Structure 1
Amino acid sequence: MTNEHSLAAQPGSFAQAPGRTAPERRRAVAAGIIGNTLEWYDFGVYGFLATLLAKQFFPASGQYIGLLQTFGAFGAGFIARPLGSILLGRMGDIIGRKAVLTLTILMMAVGTIAIGVVPTYAHIGIAAPLVLLVARLLQGLAAGGEWGNAAAFLAEWAKPGRRGFYGGLLLASVSGGLLLGSGVAACVSTALSPEQMTDWGWRIPFLLGAALIPVGLYMRRNVEEPPKFRSQPTGDVPQNQTAFPALLLRAACICLPLLMASYMVTVYMPSYAQLYGAIPRSMALWANTCALALTVVGAPVVGLLSDLYGRRRQMLICAVLLVVLAYPMYGLIASGVSFPTFFAIQMLLTAVVVGFNGAVPATVAELFPTATRAVGAALANAIAGVFGGFTPFISTWLIKESGSVASPAWLVVFSGAAALLALIGIKEMAHRELT
């Protein structure tokens, strides 16, 4: 046994374990973060431009049905995520994290280009939404393998006592991609007239994202596998496989706020604010951009705090806050508040979500052994993602059926309650060595 175990108990310590040099670690972290940022930019732009996509691909359905169908296609990407997590997660555990992370960025690029160039319903009829659906499914497969492999990759490259910080960087890269997408959508919406945006401007964010993919691809092809993975026999499977289902269920519940709550307060919020809070599109997008910026800055800080003081307690507190605050805050937005009040509400909800989610990547990676870490983390995230991907769809349906525009808040409450129950039974792993 190396001395890494003793070092792991000292959050502020640093040592060069065999095969781990500082330049290698920096390159690995940069590749994981930048590639992930670009992938989630591509994935998130769809949600930010949902109201415009509904007009282009489902014009004959009316506003409500068209938006529902658009969000249905958004959710379809999340249906593909479990399959991607199983296939690409297991590949990551067998052939390596690096190879799979390179493949996922290529798959995401193809899906994004397809959405950016496909003719609309007015030009090719039913083929247009079908191409949109296939592109979303391909993006979903890529995203299914991306998160688990990236979480395993960064956790295994992390220096002792810094897995939370590295996991926070992973969350920051996800939010950074969404932030970039939200910022680009806001800039394009501000620069172009509503007619130009509806006609052709919506394509610009997709095409810009596709143009940036080669940067992440180059970086991922020029990094090494984590030393923890290299020391593991290829395809090795732990003897105690019976524990995997229980760990998977617990990890999926912990991931629910990462997918459901965060999507409700970021990806879905611009559409919600426009439709039910009377907030103009450009202002809603700028508020969302600020919320994502808070996530980018806050997630590594939260991850670092979880390294120093433990992850479990802070996650329990934030889960309780999600349960308590969600419904009153959405009720306020629906009552027609001013933009400053809406902005304050979104920042508050974002701060609580970040307080929880900043520690999620490290926590989930720590639950699984090296031989099943990528597939376990990927599948847990994908299972939660099925719920998260359909939050806009379910929210739209809930409002229609219940007559209450605050009803989507119950999805946030559900995610917080499920995570709370899952956290009660886990041990604190912040200062222990990975298995």
Structure 2
Amino acid sequence: MQTPTATRRLTRQDARTLFLASLGGALEFYDFIIFVFFATVIAKLFFPAGMPDWLQQIQAFGIFAAGYLARPLGGIIMAHFGDLFGRKRVFTFSVFLMAVPTLVMGLLPTYASIGIAAPLLLLLMRVLQGAAIGGEAPGAWVFVSEHVPANRVGVATGMLTGGLTGGILLGSLMATAINTAYTPAEVADWAWRIPFITGGIFGLVAMYLRRWLHETPVFEAMRARIGEESREMPLKAVLRGQGSAVIVSMLVTWMLTAAIVVVILMTPALFQKLHALTPATTLEANVAATFTLTVMAVVVGALLDRFGALRVGMIGSLALIAATYALYYGVEANPANLLPLYALAGATVGIITVVPYVMVNAFPAATRFTGVSFSYNVAYAVFGGITPLLVSVMMAGNRHAAAHYVAAVVVIGMGALMWNATRTARAAALETPVEAQPALR
């Protein structure tokens, strides 16, 4: 496959690549997130019946969190091989590594059948899921960005980001359907298995479809220039000479975690507690927010191609801050405002597409997969881990602390975008490459 020019239009092959990549990303994120929607049922089935409910719940969420802890290691290992031996192989393997544990989780015997082996096997499957998701998002962003011309990288990363967030939407819709179609007793007895088995099967289908994808032109050109034997370890190169790119990538990832974890994942539970809203009401609004996020992630990608990361990122970040405050203050004033304000806030979260756009342009081809994966997964593990705890503690003293936290982190992200623009402009003026920012083409 020839390397595309920097300004050509997207071809039918490009469209197929973006579709298959986005579909696989959506199914993989569905597999990763579906656990949290059935955590209460899983807690009762995979731990001793005599254990207090609160302890069962803590241990179930602990197993869920183990997937996040496994992300950095899995992502770094897969990125290492992706930079050395090709994006496609790792990109396909990540779906397989997610699909199989998800399918197994849907078939696992419970504690009543095999005792302590049940939660241990569940934990093992969750760790494998975490390793898979650690390679999926960075690998997918790199894969699609290296397939399209440079002036379409925003659309490519936007479609992929929309696919990933679409996976969260699929999980929410599946959870709603299962809990609507079956009684609580039926869900606890057997229906909870349906989402996992379905996700595993469709994940294997996505893996099969990815067999038809081609290796990226960027990697093929790089492999033609230098032999694999002569290249140094990618992570060593990233840590030794691309520190500024890593810091920028981590800071913008922090902004992404604040938007996703607080606005999308935590807000329904917070509003149930703050305003005595029912789970059904908050879930309906959350579905609307996730839908508008998925759509706007693609729209923001198109805007990035036209106006660049700095302008789009700054305006979008201000919109995110304003919409988050409107959501928290508006629902407090009148709970009937929940659905429209949550849908608006979800739309502004679409600015997260700026994160992969910045990251894939921040590292050279030889270390791009490793640089993106290391920065994104380590930052997500750290900030994604502390955010729920920190926001919960802050909420005890201020009802609007969640909005304050999002605003503060987004301001930090805006600073990172300005810093990145400055270093790029300085390098261009000196006609030398940014520490780690050559063009994708």
In terms of fraction of residues, the more helix-rich structure is 2
Seen in structure 2, the aligned counterparts of structure 1 residues 370 and 267 have a Cα distance that, compared at 3 Å, is same
**1:351 matches 2:338:** no
Question: Which TM-score applies when normalising by structure 1?
Answer: 0.85
Specify every segment of 5 or more residues in structure 2 that has no aligned partner in the other structure, as ranges. 429-437
Structure 1 residue ranges, 4+ long, deviating more than 6 angstroms after superposition: 238-241, 428-432
* 1:252-298 Cα deviation digits (max 9, x unpaired): 11112323321322233444444554333333333222222212211
Question: Which TM-score applies when normalising by structure 2?
Answer: 0.84
Seen in structure 2, the aligned counterparts of structure 1 residues 260 and 47 have a Cα distance that, compared at 3 Å, is farther
* 1:369-400 Cα deviation digits (max 9, x unpaired): 10111111111221232145436852685379
Q: Following TM superposition, by how much is the alpha carbon of 1:128 offset from its aligned partner in structure 2, in angstroms?
A: 2.9
Amino acid at match of 1:95: F
**1:415 matches 2:409:** yes
Q: Following TM superposition, by how much is the alpha carbon of 1:228 offset from its aligned partner in structure 2, in angstroms?
A: 1.1
- Are the equivalent residues in 2 in contact too, given 1:274–1:284 (CA < 8 A)? yes
1:19 is matched with which residue?
Answer: none
- Are the equivalent residues in 2 in contact too, given 1:148–1:376 (CA < 8 A)? no
Describe the SS at the equivalent of 2:214: coil
Amino acid at match of 2:8: F
Q: Following TM superposition, by how much is the alpha carbon of 1:214 offset from its aligned partner in structure 2, in angstroms?
A: 2.3
Q: What CA distance in whole angstroms lies between the structure 1 residues aligned with 2:140 and 2:410?
A: 24
1:263 is matched with which residue?
Answer: 261
Q: How does 1:23-422 map to 2 (within 5 A)?
A: 23-58=12-47, 62-232=52-222, 233-235=226-228, 236=231, 242-274=240-272, 276-323=274-321, 326=324, 329-330=327-328, 338=335, 340-354=336-350, 356-387=351-382, 389-390=384-385, 394=389, 398=393, 402=396, 407-409=401-403, 411-422=405-416
Q: What CA distance in whole angstroms lies between the structure 2 residues aligned with 1:398 and 1:411?
A: 11
CA RMSD of aligned residues (A): 3.2
Describe the SS at the equivalent of 1:433: coil
Q: What CA distance in whole angstroms lies between the structure 2 residues aligned with 1:369 and 1:96?
A: 15
Seen in structure 2, the aligned counterparts of structure 1 residues 423 and 158 have a Cα distance that, compared at 3 Å, is same
Greater mean deviation of Cα atoms: 139-148 or 107-116:
107-116
- Are the equivalent residues in 1 in contact too, given 2:238–2:371 (CA < 8 A)? no
* 1:83-141 Cα deviation digits (max 9, x unpaired): 01210011111111110011111110122123222233444443333222222211110
- Are the equivalent residues in 2 in contact too, given 1:179–1:293 (CA < 8 A)? yes
Specify every segment of 5 or more residues in structure 1 that has no aligned partner in the other structure, as ranges. 17-21
Seen in structure 2, the aligned counterparts of structure 1 residues 306 and 350 have a Cα distance that, compared at 3 Å, is same
- Are the equivalent residues in 1 in contact too, given 2:20–2:209 (CA < 8 A)? yes
* 1:13-59 Cα deviation digits (max 9, x unpaired): 4269xxxxx34323322221111111011011122333333343456
Seen in structure 2, the aligned counterparts of structure 1 residues 137 and 257 have a Cα distance that, compared at 3 Å, is same
Amino acid at match of 2:14: R
Describe the SS at the equivalent of 1:359: helix
Number of residue pairs the alignment of both structures matches: 419
- Are the equivalent residues in 2 in contact too, given 1:71–1:392 (CA < 8 A)? no
Q: What CA distance in whole angstroms lies between the structure 2 residues aligned with 1:149 and 1:197?
A: 35
Describe the SS at the equivalent of 2:215: coil
Q: What CA distance in whole angstroms lies between the structure 2 residues aligned with 1:44 and 1:240?
A: 30
Describe the SS at the equivalent of 2:361: helix
Amino acid at match of 1:243: G
* 1:199-244 Cα deviation digits (max 9, x unpaired): 4332221111112112211121121111111000354459896432
- Are the equivalent residues in 2 in contact too, given 1:190–1:282 (CA < 8 A)? no
Q: What CA distance in whole angstroms lies between the structure 1 residues aligned with 2:168 and 2:34?
A: 7
